[in-house]
């Protein structure tokens, strides 16, 4: 439940940042603050104002209390101009917040209310260019993951994917560098590029499996083919 709530609130955080007239928003942005690796739940950047906002989502008090980064001298608040905590309604009191952080609360529908505004940090430790690069990378990765997930979504509850004999995969040709979809047999090591006609070594082609097919699928497909070519019954 907590994981689902956390994911939901991260998405709401990005929506809220966008409403704040930010030009670039993303979730799960990887940062390096004073050589320490951090992952911000949501980051929003306003290009005109040259301002960066970071939102950290907390869905339980235990999660909040065990997060040392929030109270660290090199925490999220030092890397940006405005830092917030986003929690479910009533989870935290204002006096519990780390210095400088604002508090956002979300109701059960995801509507966000500002409970306390953050204190502006006029000397963000990370350069704006660095934050733009990191946030842009996170946004791009999120889009590509969403696209690959859309392609591989299974609507048959794995009926035709168990014990596969064929694979539908996205492959990148090592020769012409073009990426496309290929169908290959189980255990196949190569495929033929449809652009340059050269042999693709599958294991070196950044393979991404969209779907797999078993004997049941082929039998069903064959039956559909036969049904489609049945002679028309006399009227």
Catalogue the E-assigned strands of 70-142. Answer: 82-88, 102-106, 112-116
Give the contacts of 185 (CB within 8 A, at least 6 positions apart).
165, 166, 167
Q: Give mean pLDDT, residues 128-135.
A: 92
With 90 as the cut, is the pLDDT of residue 200 above it?
yes
The domain boundary residue, chosen from 120, 140, 160? 140
65 and 106 in a common domain = yes
The total number of structural domains in the chain stands at: 2
Q: How far apart are CA 224 and CA 83, in angstroms?
A: 58
10 phi and psi angles, rounded to 5 deg: -60, -40
The domain boundary residue, chosen from 109, 140, 171? 140
Which residue is listed with tokens 């928003």? 25
102 and 54 in a common domain = yes
Among candidates 8, 4, 24, 1, which has minimal Cα distance to 112?
Answer: 8
Residue 209 lies in a domain: yes
Which pLDDT score is estimated for 177? 81
126 and 156 in a common domain = no
With 90 as the cut, is the pLDDT of residue 22 above it?
no
Residue 234 lies in a domain: no
Task: Say whether 26 sits in a helix, a strand or coil.
Answer: strand
85 and 57 in a common domain = yes
Residue 133 host element (H or E) = helix 128-152
81 and 176 in a common domain = no
Residue 34 lies in a domain: yes
Structure token pair of residue 195: 């652009």
The domain boundary residue, chosen from 140, 173, 195? 140
CATH at 29: 3.40.1350.10
87 and 181 in a common domain = no
Distance of CA 205 to the CA centre of its chain: 23
Residue 147 lies in a domain: no
189 and 114 in a common domain = no
Mean pLDDT of the chain: 88
Query: How many alpha carbons lie under 13 Å from residue 59 in its C-beta half-sphere?
Result: 14
115 and 169 in a common domain = no
* From 25-39, 112-126, 155-169, the region with the lowest mean pLDDT: 155-169
69 and 162 in a common domain = no
Residue 233 lies in a domain: no
Look up the domain containing 41 and give its range.
2-140
Q: Give mean pLDDT, residues 30-46.
A: 91
Which pLDDT score is estimated for 150? 61
With 90 as the cut, is the pLDDT of residue 21 above it?
no
Q: Give mean pLDDT, residues 187-197.
A: 95
With 80 as the cut, is the pLDDT of residue 61 above it?
yes
178 and 136 in a common domain = no
Residue 146 lies in a domain: no
Angle at 71 between CA 68 and CA 73, to 5 degrees: 110
Q: How far is CA 167 from CA 86, 116, 159, in A?
A: 42, 53, 15
* From 17-21, 150-154, 158-162, 203-207, the region with the lowest mean pLDDT: 150-154
184 phi and psi angles, rounded to 5 deg: -135, 155
178 phi and psi angles, rounded to 5 deg: -90, 145
With 90 as the cut, is the pLDDT of residue 195 above it?
yes
Q: How far apart are CA 1 and CA 22, in angstroms?
A: 30
User: DSSP letter string over 57-69?
Assistant: E--SHHHHHT-GG
| Residues 32, 34, 35, 38, Cα dihedral to 10° | -40
Which pLDDT score is estimated for 235? 44
11 and 81 in a common domain = yes
With 80 as the cut, is the pLDDT of residue 198 above it?
yes
Which pLDDT score is estimated for 1? 44
pLDDT band at 156 (very low <50, low <70, confident <90, very high): low
| Residues 221, 224, 229, 233, Cα dihedral to 10° | 160
Residue 235 lies in a domain: no
pLDDT band at 151 (very low <50, low <70, confident <90, very high): low
Residue 165 lies in a domain: yes
Which pLDDT score is estimated for 162? 83
81 and 167 in a common domain = no
pLDDT band at 148 (very low <50, low <70, confident <90, very high): low
Catalogue the E-assigned strands of the chain. Answer: 24-33, 36-46, 51-57, 82-88, 102-106, 112-116, 166-172, 179-185, 190-192, 199-201, 208-213
- Model confidence pLDDT, tens digit, residues 65-84: 999 889 888 889 999 999 99
pLDDT band at 152 (very low <50, low <70, confident <90, very high): low
């Amino acid at each position: 439940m907590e994981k689902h709530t956390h994911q939901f609130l991260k998405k709401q955080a990005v929506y809220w940042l966008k409403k704040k007239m930010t030009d670039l928003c993303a979730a799960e942005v990887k940062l390096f603050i004073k050589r320490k690796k951090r992952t911000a739940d949501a980051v929003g950047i306003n290009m005109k104002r040259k301002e960066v906002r970071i939102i950290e989502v907390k869905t339980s008090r235990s999660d909040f209390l065990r997060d040392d980064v929030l109270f660290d001298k090199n925490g999220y608040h030092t890397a940006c101009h405005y830092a917030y905590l986003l929690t479910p309604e009533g989870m935290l009191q204002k006096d519990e917040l780390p210095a400088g952080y604002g508090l956002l609360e979300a109701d059960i529908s995801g509507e966000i209310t500002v409970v306390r505004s953050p204190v502006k940090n006029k000397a963000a430790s990370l350069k704006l260019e660095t934050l733009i690069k990191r946030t842009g990378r996170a946004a791009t990765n999120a889009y590509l993951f969403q696209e690959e997930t859309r392609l591989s979504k299974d609507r048959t509850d794995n009926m035709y994917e168990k014990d596969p004999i064929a694979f539908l995969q996205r492959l990148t040709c090592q020769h012409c560098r073009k990426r496309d979809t290929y169908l290959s047999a189980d255990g196949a090591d190569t495929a033929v590029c449809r652009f340059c006609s050269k042999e693709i070594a599958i294991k070196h082609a950044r393979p991404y499996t969209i779907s797999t097919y078993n004997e049941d699928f082929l039998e069903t497909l064959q039956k559909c083919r036969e049904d489609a070519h049945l002679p028309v019954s006399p009227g």
